[in-house]
Structure 1
Amino acid sequence: MTERVMIVTGGSRGIGAATARLGAKAGYAVVVNYASNEAAAKAVVADIEAGGGTAIAVKGDVGVEADIVALFEAADRLGPLAALVNNAGVVDAVAPVAEMSADRLDRMFRINITGSFLCAREAVKRMSTARGGQGGAIVNLSSAAAKLGLGGARVDYAASKGAIDTFTVGLAKELAGEGIRVTAVRPGIIATDIHASGGEPDRVEEIAPSLPMRRAGTAEEVARAILWLLSDEASYSTGTIIDVSGGRSILP
């Protein structure tokens, strides 16, 4: 019960899994949250334990408030919460706004926006020095889409990440005097399976040649930025949003 605890939502794969592994190496006890892929989450936990670290896998949908509360209660059993990485998110198939259903929009915003708000709420209750906590840091996952808009493709996803940018700045100002720093990263095209979940399994290979660096990024490259923002090396940074996009500034 003496270890600093990190919660990584959506921690079973991609950027979340890379962040969980690096977090353990940095000395955190890691809570690997997952929505459905138990085997992948347990594999991350096994990797961390094999390296001498502490980790647990906790199932929970960040689109469901009760699951979020249960996630944080599970983390409480490991020790004091020091870091939250709001990584869990979804994309959907390419579609113009004229063809988007209310159900699609509800799912997108409930998971990508409301889930991040509620996870931050629970983290603040535990970390705020004004509430008896020891302080800490929150890193939100935005996206280059927040600036690109993704017109004709995924405006809903882009809008959800634009909301995360605003949320990050506002929450940072709200908590600056309570010992909690709030920052974000904006990944660009990263080689993870999120593209397949949106119906485009070959998207990375198709887009990579048109990117400024002529390649996609890796989950580990994004995770390193997240761990820096969580660390004492970033002690005077709050409200900061770092682009990890290989120079991508326009939609290919």
Structure 2
Amino acid sequence: MPPLTLVTGGSRGIGAATVRALADRGHDVVVGHRTGAAEAAAVVADAEARGVRAVAVRADVTDPDEVDALFAAAGELGVVTGLVANAGVTAHLGDLADTPVDVVRQVLDVNLLGVVLCARRAAQLMSRRRGGAGGSIVAVSSSAATLGSAHEYVHYAAAKAGVDALVVGLAKELADDGVRVNAVAPGLVRTGIHAGAGDAGRLDRVTGRVPMGRPGEPEEIAPAIAWLLGPEAAYCTGAVLRVAGGL
């Protein structure tokens, strides 16, 4: 049977590019999404055109019941062997002192709690000690986790730093259970997340910070995620792979 990988936030940006990269490598894929049903359907059609099975499942990763339902729906295709915990949001740009509490909570919930809940469920299902077949978890972190993102979204940076800590600790917990846990930390990438935070021009404005002099493309992040899921990375766990143009 081909590997079966669940990608949260799979309807657009890095998530959609990851689905395509995995489909090219023979993975059956589950496209998790909260909004963008039409975009998710298009990603599924693209994956199927590449010769694999694919399905879109709507779920809010901050809701444990919906996370359980997401994995249950994925399980209808077969045994889930991979998780890409990619769903994320910045929602607001500005100093922390000017950021509404509800926005802070939303960003922490989606970017940290959502990853924790998805990784927790994946661990329950994949762990050989618990009767699973093993597998691989890749979280999508951010270069913000080490840069802090002052005057932009320090709460988002804090959430991504939490993701990095989760990866290190969970990798050690699951190392004997046949489950590898890693992360990819992109830098400035050309996706809709900037417009979603209310600043569509941010990417072009801050590109000068990047040593390579340009933003990345989702298609430049996805292969790193796919590599961490694959057999070539069999001895890699607890790593945070930075793909950020030198940032």
TM norm. shorter chain > 0.5: yes
Question: What are the superposed Cα offsets for residues 178-218 of structure 1, whole Å, 9 maximum, x if unpaired?
Answer: 00000001100001111110111112222224421111111
The 10-residue stretch of structure 1 (188-197 or 58-67) with the greater mean CA deviation from structure 2? 58-67
Corresponding residue pairs, total = 247
1:11 is aligned to: 10
Measured in 1, the distance between the counterparts of 2:193 and 2:103 equals 17
Moved more, 237-246 or 89-98: 89-98
CA contact (8 A) 1:143 1:188 kept: yes
Shift of 1:146: 0.4
Q: Which amino acid aligns with 2:104?
A: L
Corresponding position of 1:123: 122
Give the 3-state SS of the residue equivalent to 1:246 in structure 2.
Answer: coil
**CA-to-partner distance for each residue in 1:75-123, whole Å, 9 max, x for gaps?**
0100011100000011022121222332122111111111111111111
Give the aligned partner of residue 89 of structure 2: 90
The corresponding residue for 1:73 is 72
**More divergent stretch after superposition (175-184 vs 43-52):** 43-52
Q: Secondary structure at the match of 1:52?
A: coil
1:38-57 to 2 correspondence within 5 Å? 38-57=37-56
Query: Which AA in structure 2 matches 1:20?
Result: V
User: Residue 243 in 1 paired to residue 242 in 2?
Assistant: yes
* Structure 1 residue 5: Cα displacement: 1.2
Question: Which string of whole-angstrom CA distances, capped at 9 and with x for unpartnered residues, describes residues 215-245 of structure 1?
Answer: 1111011100000111110110100111000
- Give the distance between the partners of 1:4 and 1:216, measured in 2 at CA: 31
- CA RMSD between the two structures: 1.0
Aligned residue number for residue 169 of structure 1: 168
Identity %: 47
Which residue of 2 is the match for residue 230 of structure 1?
229
Find the aligned partners of 2:203 and 2:72 in 1 and give their Cα distance: 37
- TM-score, structure 1 as length reference: 0.95
SS in structure 2 opposite 1:7?
strand
Mind listing any 5+ residue stretches in structure 2 that lack a counterpart? none
Q: Which runs of no fewer than 5 residues in structure 1 stay unpaired? A: none
